[in-house]
Structure 1
Amino acid sequence: MNELINRLVLGSALCGFASLANAAVLDVQAEIRPDPINPGIAQIINNTPVTGYCTEFPGNCNSRGIRSNSFPIAFMSLAGIPKDGVIPFGFPATWRRFTVQHAVVPGATAEVEIRIAGVGTRYRLSNTAQSIIGHPGELPVFDYHAYLWQPSWAEATAPCQQVNGTSQGADPNGTDFTAFWLTPQHVTTCSRSPKYNIPGMSLQRLDVHYELRAVRPEQLITGDYQGSYTYSTRGDFDMGALTPNDAAMTFNLNLAVKQDVNVKMSADSVALAPKGGWMEWINHGRRPEKLLGDLRFFILTSTPFKMDLSCSQAGTGTCLISNGSHDVPVDISVSLPSPWVDGTGQPVVRRPLTIGGAGLEHLMPAGSPTREPSLLHFEVPKDSVATMHDDSSYRGTVNITFDSDI
């Protein structure tokens, strides 16, 4: 007999708020799909339905690649705005960090950052712009609003960036005007000052274009993360003499993480043989004590994952190989390179891989993963080898599943 086992065929399968009792709350639905090759540069995709400015002026938003959501926060002026008074229209354009919690895995958290990258509103005057200026009916409505302010709400005071078309935003009623500006990180205000006394004025809503980013996307676990961030409308936002009817605006984030495990097998089959080869059996007829084989694979990702095993022929917790009439079990184990550890932080060295994946339900990097190889170990133990038929080839197929949905 030249060999007891011809080959063992392997296959690998890659698996891939409750709202506050407050009107000024936005439920944000977003997702992130880190690239297993470059997971650290993954971007958050915002799937929240657009409301506010970008529904009224979609062309302006599409051309700038922005989106808006509207908060029902009104800012009121009880005493009017005097000539040459200032509405600061201040906002928080810098990145703010907050923590989100995995919905299923206890203690699994991540850090997300948010910033207000654009702001807008619809203001309403107590009198028409025409009557405030004193020349009713002689000019287009837009021009009255433009002449009323320094600068016009259709323009952006540098370094704020203009989004409005030059003749957009003015409602035919003469009292309402809709505006929106982009806000680079170093900007804090897009102030406006009236050139006439305004007897009464309110901001009817607050529209924002906000950006989100994950701090360490390569550490995210597949599943949903939830968390929230709240801005103060009386501190983070500054409308001067205009007083908000709600003290806060809250973003409730549900972030769906969709990570795929990227694994590269060095081969799709492995031949089991005695330690030192077959020569002792060929030359001396000495039956080997064990049959062994290793298969290298490479984990090309940093996302946590779990491993499981299925077989074409299943035994008690493990797989069988057969010559067609006789079966023997194969013990399978796995070794992962540092810094990969199990859910308790222990190294994974010759850890048994059994049907059901017990003990390998949560494998994760404790640091920055390297590209060192991992190993699958296959062994037919001595007592099983002793029962194997001479002049036979034993074969079997196993499927190793790497699943990021832990």
Structure 2
Amino acid sequence: MIRHSLSTGLQRLLRQGLCALALVAGVGSVHAADIYISAEFKPDVSDPDKREFTNTTPWSGVCDSVHLQVCINNEWWSIDTKVRGTKQGVYAPDWGPGGFYIGMPPSRTVTVVSDDGLSTFDLGVNIIGAAMRITDLDGDGPREPASTGNPNGCSLALKNTNASNRSVMRMFLRRDGGEGVAICSLHWLHENNYAIQEFDFTYKLTTPAPLAMRSGVYRGMTTYRVGGTGEGADFDLGDGVALEDNIVNVHFELKVEHAFQLDLPPGSERAVLAPRGGWAQWSDHGIVPKSLERDVPFSLSSSGQFEVSLQCQHPLADGRCAIRNVAEAADEVPLDIQLTLPGFRDSATGVDVVGMPLTTTMLAPVLTADVFIIRRPSKLNFAVNGDAVRSMLDHPGSHYRGDVTVIFDASP
């Protein structure tokens, strides 16, 4: 919390904060592997139109090797599922489940939940490819145990072979972008036992619109089942498969760190109320001013939502703040406070924030914008209006003072 003091009694407060996520979900299984996918949104002042999450998942699987630059260039994100096991190979030049075979599931939607449990968003998950690394356990198989013919049902995106230990890796890339169920396969060349050293999938996330999300961390989870043909698995590795883990719990974490900055010019800690145009009409002609007021300018940068509320040193029953005569016994006079933030609106009503009245009794509005707003000129207007001005002029030479706190809460 940062308080900005006004020597005339007008104070502002800016409160910013990011919350840590405390929601954990899981699927219990004695044969389960847990993997983690993360992404974050941090707005960039130099690129205010950027509205996408950045994948922050550590590299693993097939891309975390000699293929890393190819994966980066093609925006392929692979992750090792930690699934290990064996596969009995058969001579099956028919692209069938006895060969180098991977069936992949359709896209799905995962619900991510905010740290306080109050906000939920949909995260789209598409499995766009998969890879498997196998090694000949018998040691007498060919150097290329799965390389004849073109792949069926997909593209062969990456591959490599280690002749010394008779291991191969193949990465399939789906042609449908991960929408439906897909089966990718190659011929098999030898009847041998193979170790599944690694099973990876390549994914694409369709993330929520981050400008609509509050700062914080959002978590969700989904489960994929891995197995052989006929087992009803999400990932089908064909015939002759025995796995150490058959369940993969995928945990998702989306981190949102909105930008929020309020810049006050020098001298804004002091606001002296006066008639527009000065006191000449009163001093020379006795004309009572309609109001005593002062605009306090500032600039605001924000990429997310925030609340605005009000606190008073001298609160009135109607929710307005008052200023008080510091030298004489006199009635307190009400202070009208209005906020103008061009480009922002009340998220509940859609009303633009232009001359928005602030009171202590209002439900703190949550303000939002459609774009990342940077250093937008804004203002607070403080005014004593109407009969209250005449009341003050009945005490010439006296001073009225009061402290006001306007709260901008960037973590509503």
Normalised TM-score (structure 2): 0.67
Q: Distance in 1 between matches of 2:195 and 2:285?
A: 99
Shift in alpha-carbon separation, 1:209–1:394, aligned structure 2, 3 A: farther
Q: Secondary structure at the match of 1:163?
A: strand
Q: Distance in 2 between matches of 1:40 and 1:98?
A: 26
**1:402 is matched with which residue: 381, 384, 408?**
408
How many equivalent pairs are there?
A: 368
Shift of 1:219: 0.9
Q: Is the 8 A contact 1:110 1:216 kept in 2?
A: no
Shift in alpha-carbon separation, 1:190–1:161, aligned structure 2, 3 A: same
Aligned sequence identity (%) = 24
Q: Which amino acid aligns with 2:147?
A: Q
Give the corresponding residue for 1:258: 257
Give the corresponding residue for 2:138: 127
Q: Is the 8 A contact 1:117 1:211 kept in 2?
A: yes
Q: Which amino acid aligns with 1:69?
A: I
Deviations 1:283-310 (A, max 9, x none): 3224436323456778765622122568
Q: Distance in 2 between matches of 1:249 and 1:47?
A: 20
Structure with the bigger percentage of strand? 2
Deviations 1:142-200 (A, max 9, x none): xx322x33349xx9789635334xxx4427433x434445556547444211133x143
Give the corresponding residue for 2:286: 285
Q: Is the 8 A contact 2:53 2:210 kept in 1?
A: no
**Which shifted more, 205-214 or 271-280?**
271-280
Shift in alpha-carbon separation, 1:341–1:95, aligned structure 2, 3 A: same
Shift of 1:257: 0.9
Give the corresponding residue for 2:5: none
Q: Bigger relative contact order, structure 1 or 2, given CA contacts below 8 A and separation 6+?
A: 1
Give the corresponding residue for 1:340: 345
Q: Distance in 2 between matches of 1:228 and 1:10?
A: 45
Q: Distance in 1 between matches of 2:38 and 2:358?
A: 40
Report whether the alignment pairs 1:363 with 2:366.
yes
Shift in alpha-carbon separation, 1:177–1:88, aligned structure 2, 3 A: closer
Give the corresponding residue for 1:21: 28
Q: Distance in 1 between matches of 2:107 and 2:284?
A: 73
Shift of 1:205: 3.4
Q: Distance in 2 between matches of 1:169 and 1:401?
A: 63
Q: Distance in 1 between matches of 2:15 and 2:156?
A: 45
Q: Which amino acid aligns with 1:170?
A: N
Q: Distance in 2 between matches of 1:111 and 1:297?
A: 36
Shift of 1:363: 0.4
Report whether the alignment pairs 1:173 with 2:152.
no
Q: Distance in 2 between matches of 1:215 and 1:296?
A: 34
RMSD, aligned CA: 4.8
The gaps in structure 2 that reach 5 residues or longer are 1-7, 18-23, 227-231
Shift in alpha-carbon separation, 1:12–1:171, aligned structure 2, 3 A: farther
Q: Distance in 2 between matches of 1:259 and 1:21?
A: 34
Q: Which amino acid aligns with 1:241?
A: D
Shift of 1:110: 1.6
**1:380 is matched with which residue: 371, 384, 400?**
384
Normalised TM-score (structure 1): 0.68
Q: Is the 8 A contact 2:136 2:165 kept in 1?
A: no
Q: Distance in 2 between matches of 1:244 and 1:97?
A: 29
